[in-house]
Structures are given as C-alpha cells and as structure tokens.
Amino acid sequence: MNSLSIQNKRAFTLIELLVVVAVVSVLATLLYTGITAAQNKAYTARAVKEFRSFAQAMTVYLLKNDTYPPDVNRDIPAGLEPYLANNGNWPDGPYPGSVYDWDNIGGADPYIQISLRFCDINGNNCRFPIESWAQDFDKNSAMYWCFEGTCRSHSSQPVDHPGYCVNCGLETGL
C-alpha cells in the first residue's frame, strides 16, 4: 500500500457522528412520547370501560337489594361479586399503582361513587395520569363514577377539589 491509497479512504468525522446521534435521539424521543400518550389513552379507555361495568353490576345489585352497599376502604363492596365481570374479581386500577375504591358517604352531604385513586392509602407514592384532566391532581384527587349525590374526588375535600368525574353531565349513567 502506498500513502496515496491510505489518504483516499474516507472515515466519518466527529461532527457527522454527532449529527447522526442527535437525529436518532430526536426520533427516539418522538417515538417514546407517542407511545406514552397512546398508553395513557389506553389506560383511560380501560378505566371508563371498567367504570361502566361496575355501574352495570351496581344497578343489578341495587335492584336485588334495594340499597347500595356500605362504604369500604379500597376494596370491593361485599355482595357485589356475583354481578361483576372477570368471575367477580375487583380489578386493579388500569394506571400503574392505581386502585378502585367504593365510596358510600353519608352525613349532611351524602354521595355514592366508585373512585380510582392514584396514591397509596397514606397519600404517598402518587402516580397521576399524564392527561390534561389530571394536571392539578394531588393526593386527594381521583377519577370517579358518580351514582348519587354531589360526588367529589375525596370525602375530606370540597366539591371543587381537583378530580375527574367520568359520567357527570352524561344523560345516561351507563
């Protein structure tokens, strides 16, 4: 090999490699953002589907028992199992770390709802949806399906506390 043939070989320059890495990084970021948005839409769609299923089960329960079950803390109301899909199992929430909660709150301003909570029972380890309706959520916020009364995101909070009612304003509850 003579020195002329070595000089004709062309390698990528550092600038060219950096440009390629930057373009690949931008494309990967766009792809990740799109996948994350689609995943959140799927979580929301699953939650709405499960809320509708709970509402149908609760309607049958109410017809057979003439009353709603009492409040339970992040659990299935006793006696609802035969009316639920999935062999009577109370599903985990669709969002990572989320859990369903049956609320039958009495007192001066009673309400009945099924809530989807995004924090653990102590209000820690919160993982809120990346959705516009959850932008101002805090440990007392919830996504919920209202059956009766003036529903809210949490019993300790006022009605206007950040929360997302799935069926409020709909003509039909199902």
Percentage above 70 pLDDT, the chain: 91
Q: Say which residue the tokens 């899909």 belong to.
A: 85
Cβ contacts of 159 within 8 Å, gap of 6 or more:
150, 152
Lowest-confidence range among 6-15, 19-28, 59-68?
Answer: 6-15
Q: Does residue 6 surpass a pLDDT of 70?
A: no
- Give the per-residue pLDDT at 17: 84
Question: 149-161: per-residue pLDDT in tens?
Answer: 999 999 999 999 9
Q: What per-residue confidence (pLDDT) applies to 139?
A: 95
- Torsions phi, psi for 153 (to 5 deg): -70, -25
**For residue range 94-125, what is the model confidence (pLDDT) as tens digits?**
998 899 999 999 888 899 999 999 998 888 89
pLDDT at position 28: 76
Burial 100-113, CB ≥16 within 10 A → b, else e: bbbbbeeeeeebbb
| Amino acid letter for position 167 | N
Comparing 79 with 164, which gets the higher pLDDT?
164
The reported pTM is 0.76
pLDDT value of position 143: 96
